[in-house]
Chains A and B, each alone.
Chain A
Amino acid sequence: MFKKALLALPVALALGATANAQKAPEDVLQALIDADPGSVYLTQSEMNIMMMPDSPALWVGMDGEDLFHTARGPNNVSMEACDFGKGPGVIEGAYVEMPRYFEDTGKVMDLETRIVHCMTEVQGFAADDPAVRQRHGSGSDHMKLQTYIAMQSNGMEWNNPLDHPLEKAMRDAGEVMFARRAGMSDFNCYACHGEVGKQVRASRLPATEAKGEWSKAISWPAFRVGHDNVRSSQHRVRGCYYQMRQAGMLAGSDASIALISYWTDMARGQPAVLPDMKR
Chain B
Amino acid sequence: MFKKTPLAAGVAVFATILFTGGCAVADAGKSDKVDYTAMTPHELAEYLIFEANGGGFNLSQEMQEGGTARERMQQDELQKACSLLGNANPDAETAEAVRTAATASITYPEGGIQLGDWERGRVLAWSGFGYRVGHNYDDHKTREVGGTCYNCHQFATDRVGGSVGPSLTGYGKTRGTSEPILKYVYDMIYNPHTYFPCTHMPRFGASGFLDEQAIADIMAYMFDPESPVNE
A residues sitting closer than 8 Å to B (CB atoms) are 165-166, 168-170, 172-177, 179-188, 190-192, 194-195, 197-203, 205, 208-209, 238, 241-243, 245-250, 253-256, 258
Chain A nearest CB from B75 CB (Å) reads 5
The 8 A CB mask of B27-52 against A (1 = contact, 0 = none) is: 00000000011010110110011001
Of A166, A179, A181, the residue contacting B36 (CB under 8 A) is A166
**Pairwise interchain contact B73-A169, C-beta atoms closer than 8 A:** no
A201 touches B150 (CB 8 A): yes
Are B45 and A180 touching (Cβ within 8 A)? Answer: yes
Known pairs A183-B131, A245-B131; list 11 more (Cβ under 8 Å): A169-B44, A174-B45, A177-B48, A180-B83, A181-B79, A203-B162, A245-B133, A247-B59, A248-B57, A250-B55, A254-B48
Which residues in window 148-184 of B have CB below 8 A to A? 148, 150-152, 160-164
Q: Is the CB of A182 within 8 A of B73?
A: yes
- For B126, give the chain A residue with the smallest CB separation: A201
Q: In the complex, how many angstroms separate the beta carbon of A252 from the nearest chain B beta carbon?
A: 9
Interface positions, chain B 182-209, Cβ under 8 Å from A, are 200, 202-203, 207-209
Q: Is there contact, CB below 8 Å, between B73 and A247?
A: yes
Interface CB pairs A-B, < 8 A, 22: A173-B44, A175-B86, A182-B72, A182-B73, A185-B209, A186-B78, A186-B82, A192-B200, A198-B162, A199-B163, A205-B164, A238-B135, A242-B133, A242-B134, A242-B135, A245-B132, A250-B57, A253-B48, A253-B53, A253-B55, A254-B48, A255-B52
Q: Please name the residue on chain A nearest to B80 by beta carbon.
A: A181
**Which B73-130 residues have C-beta < 8 A from chain A?**
73-75, 78-79, 82-87
Does B69 reach chain A (CB closer than 8 Å)?
yes
B145: shortest Cβ distance to chain A, in Å? 10
Q: Which bucket holds chain B's interface residue count?
A: 35 or more
Residues of B contacting A184 with CB < 8 Å?
65, 72, 131, 202, 207-209
A186–B70 Cα gap in the complex (Å)?
A: 15
Check A175 against B41 for contact (C-beta < 8 Å).
yes
B22 at the interface (CB under 8 A from A): no
Given contacts A180-B75, A258-B45, contact A192 B164 (CB under 8 A): yes
Contacts of A197 in B (CB 8 A): 163
B57 touches A246 (CB 8 A): yes
* Contact A198 B136, beta carbon cutoff 8 Å: no
Knowing A176-B45, A179-B86, A201-B161, say if A248 contacts B134 (CB, 8 Å).
yes
Contact string against A for B residues 207-231, beta-carbon threshold 8 Å, 1 for contact and 0 otherwise = 1110000000000000000000000
A253 touching B37 in the complex, CB below 8 Å, given contacts A182-B72, A186-B203: no
Q: How far is the CA of A244 from the CA of B104 in the complex (A)?
A: 25
Report whether A258 and B44 are in contact in the complex, using a CB–CB cutoff of 8 Å: yes
Q: Is B61 part of the binding interface, using a Cβ–Cβ cutoff of 8 Å?
A: yes
Q: How far is the CA of A175 from the CA of B48 in the complex (A)?
A: 13
Known A184-B65, A186-B202; contact A170-B57, beta-carbon cutoff 8 A: no
Separation of A272 and B37 alpha carbons in the complex (Å):
29
For the complex of A and B, list the 5 residue pairs with the smallest distance between their C-beta atoms, beginning with the closest.
A255-B56, A248-B134, A253-B56, A247-B69, A247-B57
Q: Which of A184, A191, A202, A208 counts the most B-chain CB atoms under 10 A from its CB? A: A184
